[in-house]
Structure 1
Amino acid sequence: MADRRRINGPVGATTPPIFDKPAGPAAAKTRDAIRKIFLKTGITPSASGSAYLELENPNPQRPGNTSLKLSCTVHGPRSLPRSAPFSPHIILTTHVKYAPFATRQRRGYLRDSSERDLGVHLETALRGAIIADRWPKSGVDIIVTVVEGDQDRDSPRAKKDDEGWDMMNVLSGCITVASAAIADAGIDCVDTVAGGVAALVCKDDKTAPTIVMDPVVAEHGSILAACCVAYLPTRDEITNMWFKGRLPGADMMVYDKLMEKSLVACRCANRVIVQELNETVKKGQGIS
């Protein structure tokens, strides 16, 4: 008889995650590359679709340095209650929640305003990819759990107000992992949507600001602006964009470069999604 009072470990042996290289042959992270991504689908058998995403730790030697770890489950599509009004398209419900231990400050068990904002952005990003009229009067629930936030607990910036810059990376990861979970659930989409972030960073007041992809807050002196984009690579469409910060002198050329770098980051993340989905299909067909 199984012990239901605690979560038991796996029966067999486990292997550590192997991070994919989404940005060319260079293994080290540069200003023109994003961190390595580990993506796995089908981690929750009871859900219609599920996925797990983890970003490479930029500095594993530091005990206080953390990476981004997300888990997503998809429940549905399923019919709505009879009391619900008729809807010609599917009703999409997104739910983003931090684990209590995911960030420096312990989170509550009820969603706060930042988590609700992430849910709204995620719903907007996914709504443009799902073919909603395939399931009339149906609903699907997409739940993303942030197991570990992209923060540095021992950095000097940890004592300051980081203005929530790590939320941009969290939203980008939520979009990517939710897209893989939706595909794992067999929900028809026009394309796989991927998230990407680019930021305008500055080391100190004397150096000129530069644009980097997939910014790590603890590695930069200050972040002036950041842009998170949800992108459909095959259709070349943007389903959601979140810009935060202030550009020096309101330079529109810097804004255009931020957008271009964000799209490059989206294409890199999309390669990881496509590679994992291809491997899932091969395993299902028994192809080695």
Structure 2
Amino acid sequence: MADRRRINGPVGATLPPVYDSPPPSRNRAENAEDAIRKIFLKTGVTPSASGSAYLELENPNATSPSNTSLKLTCTVHGPRALPRSAPFSPHIILTTHVKYAPFATKQRRGYLRDSSERDLGVHLETALRGAIIADRWPKSGVDIIVTVIEGDQDRNAPENQRDDGWDTMNVLSGCITVASAAIADAGIDCVDTVAGGVAALVAKDATSPPSIVLDPAVADYYKIYAACCIAYLPTRDEVTNIWFKGQLPGADVMLYNNMVERSLIACRNANRVVVMALKNTINPEQEVS
């Protein structure tokens, strides 16, 4: 006899029907130089945590569910008192933990954190430490856990395609943004909402000159020369963390400064989504776009 109280899903994988023709591919570097991919951000998705948030990036060239986009979830536990055996601390102890789900990337991830995940955790802690008012909670601790449900990779790429880890820049940017929303949802006092943004020096094909784009989708470009990820406090106009990767042609300082400025534009765009998501938490009737 079937259990009528439970709806069992299909055994195999399913794909939803697509009734419309696929949208034409578009190059965001040409059509909208200062635009980033659309962000879906929602707070309060984990009731058992003090604060939580979920972030998802839209893939503008997606024609089927097999094309990937970035999906992150963040939970905040605390502030809570440290053990009696812990030494006295006049400020809050911040602990960040970034972990890929085993199925998040093309290569299956292990259950223990590797070096790249530890690096993401260090960068995330540095970015958030400049935003939290730490002296409000002496001898207290807060744990921020970010889980990468789906990485910003192209699963349809050939197995022998070289992977230089450029997608980690977008992952760090998303971790900063989603953690900022989760911290605000937990009611932890901050000087400002921190947002992450990425700018990269890319080449569309083998003959095109390098150009700077915001929020690059790695699979859309022929080559990526360098990328810059910044954590930014828009209201205070302060940078809490910067991570630069790659090499610039001729070590051009002006080009580096231009990449930093473009990264700040991406941060401001992402911060608008964070502010709208927090407003939607207070007023659920207002939609977040």
TM-score normalised by length of structure 1: 0.87
The residue number in structure 2 matching 1:177 is 178
Alignment of 1:1-288 (within 5 A): 30-62=32-64, 64-156=66-158, 159-283=160-284
Structure 2, unpaired ranges of 5+: 10-27
Structure 1 residue identity aligned to 2:74: C
Distance 1:194 1:185 in 2: 17
Structure 2 residue identity aligned to 1:151: Q
Residue 87 of structure 2 aligns to a residue whose secondary structure is: coil
Q: Encode CA deviations 1:98-142: one digit per residue, 9 max, x unaligned.
A: 000000000000000000000000000000000000000000000
Does the 8 Å CA contact 1:179/1:192 hold for their aligned counterparts? yes
Aligned-residue offset at 1:270: 0.2
Structure 1 residue identity aligned to 2:242: M
Does the 8 Å CA contact 2:214/2:262 hold for their aligned counterparts? yes
Distance 1:192 1:43 in 2: 19
Distance 1:275 1:234 in 2: 15
Aligned-residue offset at 1:253: 1.1
Structure 1, unpaired ranges of 5+: 10-25
TM-score normalised by length of structure 2: 0.87
Does the 8 Å CA contact 1:204/1:221 hold for their aligned counterparts? yes
Distance 1:189 1:86 in 2: 22
Q: Encode CA deviations 1:13-48: one digit per residue, 9 max, x unaligned.
A: xxxxxxxxxxxxx9x973321000000000000000
Does the 8 Å CA contact 1:39/1:54 hold for their aligned counterparts? yes
Distance 1:160 1:62 in 2: 21
Aligned-residue offset at 1:159: 2.9
Distance 2:138 2:53 in 1: 25
Residues 172 and 287 (structure 1), Cα distance of their counterparts in 2 relative to 1, 3 Å cut = closer
Residue 159 of structure 1 aligns to a residue whose secondary structure is: coil
Residues 7 and 71 (structure 1), Cα distance of their counterparts in 2 relative to 1, 3 Å cut = farther
Does the 8 Å CA contact 2:280/2:286 hold for their aligned counterparts? no
Kindly report the root-mean-square deviation, in angstroms, between the aligned alpha carbons of the 2 structures: 2.2
Structure 1 range deviating more: 199-208 or 129-138: 199-208
The number of aligned residues is 264
Does the 8 Å CA contact 1:39/1:51 hold for their aligned counterparts? yes
Structure 1 residue identity aligned to 2:214: M
Distance 1:162 1:32 in 2: 26
Aligned-residue offset at 1:254: 0.8
Identity of aligned residues (%): 78
